[in-house]
Amino acid sequence: MDGCTPIMLRSLFMCGVLGVLLIPVQSQQISVCLEDDEDLRVDCKIKPDASKINTYEFSWSSGSKEVLINTNVTRLAPDTQLREHSEVVELEPHGYRMTLSGYKSKLPSNTTYMCKVSGQIESITVERDNLVTCSAVSWALKSSWSGVVFLLFFLYHTQS
């Protein structure tokens, strides 16, 4: 690396990092986490189709068995035990959040969580032991690069 100055190396590093960060990333439409009280939270951020009736379904599967947890579709029958412990609220600007109370110890070990909004389906597979907490910090680090970009710029300016 003869002839390369530390300033050139820092500039090259920053350009590389910014180039990677500017690559389009698909946003996650479903997320699963544990709240501080250990309730399970599933956020489904699917934008409903304006031409359809606004419906939702939350379910999970482990192995080949799928269990419906909560829904507002009257012709479907969710698991009665799970429905009694689940609550669904609407999110702004769109989507739904399901909270399942008191079930951390009863969760299957490797679970696929699914949500369906107005016929659109999203799913995510999570291991029980790897569930993240729903804190604002872990959400920000998981869902956006803004914290990473801020940290890199801070480090860059403190080294100059």
User: What pLDDT tens digit does each residue of the chain (160 aa) get?
Assistant: 555 565 555 554 554 444 434 333 334 899 999 998 889 999 999 988 888 888 999 999 988 889 999 999 999 999 988 989 999 999 998 899 999 998 777 777 889 999 999 889 999 999 988 888 987 545 554 455 455 555 555 556 566 6
What is the third-level CATH fold of 30-142? Answer: Immunoglobulin-like (2.60.40)
Q: Count other Cβ atoms within 10 Å, centred on residue 41.
A: 16
In the chain, which ranges are E strands? 30-34, 40-44, 56-62, 65-71, 86-90, 96-100, 110-117, 120-127
Q: What is the pLDDT of residue 53?
A: 84
Structure-block tokens of residue 140:
């920000």
3-state secondary structure string across 60-78: EEECCEEEEEEECCCCCCC
Q: What is the pLDDT of residue 113?
A: 94
Task: Write down the domain spans for the chain.
Answer: 30-142
For residue 120, which of 14, 32, 25, 29 has the smallest C-alpha distance? 29
73 Cβ contact list (under 8 Å, min separation 6): 55, 56, 57
